[in-house]
Amino acid sequence: MNYRESGVDIQKGNETVKRIKPLVKQTFTANVLSELGSFGGLYALDKDKWSRPVLISSTDGVGTKLCVARAAGKYDTIGQDLVNHSVNDIFVHGATPLFFLDYIGINRVDPDRIEQVVSGMVKACKEHNMALIGGETAEMPAIYAKDDLDLVGTIIGCVEQDRIINGSGIREDDLLIGFPSTGLHTNGFSLARRILFDKQKLKVESYIEDLGKSVGEALLTVHKSYYHELKGFADPERVHGMAHITGGGIAGNLTRIIPEGLSAEIDLKRWEVPEIFRYIQRVGKISDQEMYKVFNMGIGFIAVAEKTAAYGLIQKGGGIFIGRMNKDTSRQRVKLCSDTLAEFSV
């Protein structure tokens, strides 16, 4: 017996590293002090840039969107999804992304697939001036079934201690500004796949007239990063809270930042729900309640801000006025309503 016969091909692993090394190096900034392949990634924090730096970290994956990527044979977009999702998760606290690490678990090392995944991560990291500082590729046929691929990322960012946004400053009459999603992002795919592939018997190449594109194109649309559009507004004196709308939908994620004694009233008529969600709901016969619990329904990010900041988020940030903060008299932190909000003026 040898290692390759037991399921691990070191030669292919080395070939993969050789392929991705020049890609990854494109993301390196002057702060990176190590090479890809070191036991650990070294990053020097710029002391001149930060006064009271607080490091923030987050780890996440892209869920069963990987199954769609596998069926389509397209893996670059999930690399972008992973990075953008992670950036949004730390940006809700006002943080600047610094560096990123990835984990790829796979049944058999496939240099072509891994190169696609890493190329997507590299693209997104470069867009955020963030270094892809290291990672791990684990070939484990005893854990992952044939053609399986798992993808996890860890992001490290930094924020000044006195500029942390955590929802504690949210108050009555603050306004909620929503920012459109590009589709499902990276949540709700277990339900979407069950309906579209198992129930409807569609394939990734199936063209849907209502969507104007194939199922694969609709589902693999890249998860949007809101960092560049909104970083200029990340001032805790004006924007009191931010939420990334992922699993759990609008209510599930806003609840995480709303202080005791307050409630968010969301007017569901303030934006047009993208057709991909309507189509899934129609063919799957899903209730409105379930849809808003599972999916982002067209709003991928929400900022809770005082009135003048809210106006700027709409005029310059492309946001939509979707709600208002009220005193909580019913212990319901988030209320999803229809046609209840009057416009505001500044």
Residue with tokens 């890249």: 222
Q: Using one digit for the tens of pLDDT, what is the confidence trace for 102-135? A: 999 999 999 999 999 999 999 999 999 999 999 9
- Contact call for residues 62 and 220 (beta carbons, < 8 A): no
Q: Does domain 10-163 have CATH number 3.30.1330.10?
A: yes
Rounded distance between C-alpha atoms, residue 285 and residue 298, angstroms: 19
Q: How far is CA 110 from CA 2, 28, 116, 216, 264, in A?
A: 19, 25, 10, 22, 47
Share of the chain above pLDDT 70, in %: 98
User: How long is the chain?
Assistant: 346
Rounded Cα gap, residues 169 and 93, in angstroms = 12
pLDDT at position 346 over 70: no
Helix axis angle for 65-72 and 76-91, nearest 10°, is 160
Q: What is the mean pLDDT of residues 199-226?
A: 96
- Which residues face 243 on adjacent strands? 302
Tens digit of each residue's pLDDT (9 = 90 or more) over 141-175: 999 999 999 999 999 999 999 999 999 999 999 99
Residue 44 CB neighbours (<10 A):
10
Q: What's the chain's average pLDDT?
A: 94
CA distances from 15 to 20, 144, 315 (A): 9, 21, 49
pLDDT grade, residue 15 (50/70/90)? confident
| Higher pLDDT pick, 261 / 5 | 261
Give me the pLDDT at residue 288, please: 94
What's the confidence (pLDDT) of residue 324?
95
**3-state DSSP assignment of residue 208:** strand
What does the DSSP assignment read for 62-98? Answer: -TTHHHHHHHHT--HHHHHHHHHHHHHHHHTTTPEEE
C-alpha to C-alpha distance for 114 and 76, rounded to whole angstroms:
9
pLDDT on residue 37: 80
**Close Cβ partners of 220 (under 8 Å, ≥ 6 residues apart):** 65, 68, 69, 72, 74, 77, 78
Q: Which amino acid is at 23?
A: L
Q: What mean pLDDT do residues 247-251 have?
A: 94
In this structure, of 4-13, 34-43, 44-53, 266-275, the range with the lowest mean pLDDT score is 4-13
Q: What is the pTM of this model?
A: 0.94
Tokens standing for residue 19: 């392929």
Q: Where are the domains of the chain?
A: 10-163, 175-337
Q: What percent of the chain has pLDDT over 90?
A: 87
CB 190 within 8 A of CB 335: no
pLDDT at 214 over 60: yes
With a cut of 70, say whether residue 344 has pLDDT above it.
Answer: no
pLDDT score of 3: 67
Q: What is the model's pLDDT at position 194?
A: 97
Q: How confident is the model at residue 345 (pLDDT cuts 50, 70, 90)?
A: low
Contact of 98 with 5, CB cutoff 8 Å = no
Q: Is residue 5's pLDDT more than 80?
A: no
96-106 and 131-139 beta bridge pairing: parallel
Tokens of 199: 């129930």
Closest listed residue to residue 101, CA positions, set 129, 149, 133: 133
pLDDT bin (cut points 50, 70, 90) of residue 290 is very high
Q: What is the 3-state secondary structure (H, E, C) of 247-272?
A: CCHHHHHHCCCCCCCEEEEEEHHHCC
Residue 340 in this model has a pLDDT that exceeds 80: no
Looking only at the bridges linking them, the beta strands covering 175-180 and 320-327 are antiparallel
What pLDDT does 339 receive? 73
User: May I ask the CATH architecture of the domain 175-337?
Assistant: Alpha-Beta Complex (3.90)
